[in-house]
Amino acid sequence: MRRPAQSVVQGLRADDRGDPSFEGICAEHDAYVEALGSAGLEVAMLPPLEDFPDSVFVEDPALVFPEGAILLRPGAPSRVPEADELAPVLGELFDRVLELPSPGFADGGDVLVTPQGVIIGLSARTDRAGAEGLADCLAQLGRNSRIVETPPGVLHLKSACSLLDDETILCTSALARSGIFEGFAQIVTAEGEDAAANALRVNDRLIVGSGFPRTAERLGPLGIELVALETSEIGKIDAGLSCMSLRWWDPAQAGRSG
């Protein structure tokens, strides 16, 4: 994770819902850190980068897996250098770090990892060349993938969906109708609560936005412990729960702790 910079209030946004407050973003970020730690994760925090307002969203410029990391090329020009800032850190953590080949761009927010393979969504931030280059990188790590079209108006694939368990996906009605999740059980967000689709499963808990009570009711039958977090301030800069961290299973760490 990376601490929010003061400049975070100038972060990119597709829809203008007013400026967030720095204090509000920090409070939501702190609660997120606590939720990850409570769910059993070890959190490593990077310092803020004032020159890059969106750098708190570390999931877009890189992907991480137990097999290695992939440095991406974000689709927003102002965010491209963020991958360079992450490169030294990932080089220390992973034996293998790949780079997205040129041309093309891809954001981590357009990548959904499932037990059946990695789904790469085309969007305003991930183009065909970038998606195909990413598929090649994933193959080098031993992972299969498929490229899908996201419906118009979807900023990132994971803005509109999240993996709940090995067989179930939470998604918006537009994404459900698209047919890209054939073979999965689907829980559709309640009307007017599309932003609830960006949830985050961590071990035996599901972190969800607190402003979506009707969608939370639909998740109840899964029997997963729900952890509701406030996301109103980060939501003003098009952010959700998945984009503020890079998460992976480290077999070496697990072996030392177990």
Residue in 29, 137, 156, 161 annotated catalytic: 156
CB 246 within 8 A of CB 232: no
Q: What are the distances in angstroms from CA 233 to CA 4, 11, 74, 164, 243?
A: 12, 11, 22, 24, 14
Per the annotation, the verdict on 156 as an active-site residue is yes
Residue 161: is its pLDDT beyond 70?
yes
For residue 89 the two structure tokens come to 């850190």
Residue 255: is its pLDDT beyond 80?
no
Distance from chain centroid for Cα 187: 19
CB 104 within 8 A of CB 129: yes
* Cα distance between residue 68 and residue 210, in whole Å: 33
Strand 185-188 to strand 168-171: parallel, antiparallel, or no bridges (unpaired)? parallel
Per the annotation, the verdict on 161 as an active-site residue is no
Domain residue ranges in the chain: 6-243
17 confidence band (pLDDT: 50, 70, 90): confident
* Superfamily covering domain 6-243: L-arginine/glycine Amidinotransferase; Chain A (3.75.10.10)
How many Cα atoms are found within 13 Å in the side-chain-facing hemisphere of 101? 11
Residue in 137, 161, 171, 243 annotated catalytic: 243
The mean pLDDT value for 19-45 works out to 97
pLDDT tens-digit series, residues 50-108: 999 999 999 999 999 999 999 999 999 999 999 999 999 999 999 999 999 999 999 99
CB 67 within 8 A of CB 14: no
pTM (two decimals): 0.95
pLDDT tens-digit series, residues 111-151: 999 999 999 999 999 999 999 999 999 999 999 999 999 98
The mean pLDDT value for 12-17 works out to 86
* Cα distance between residue 242 and residue 208, in whole Å: 10
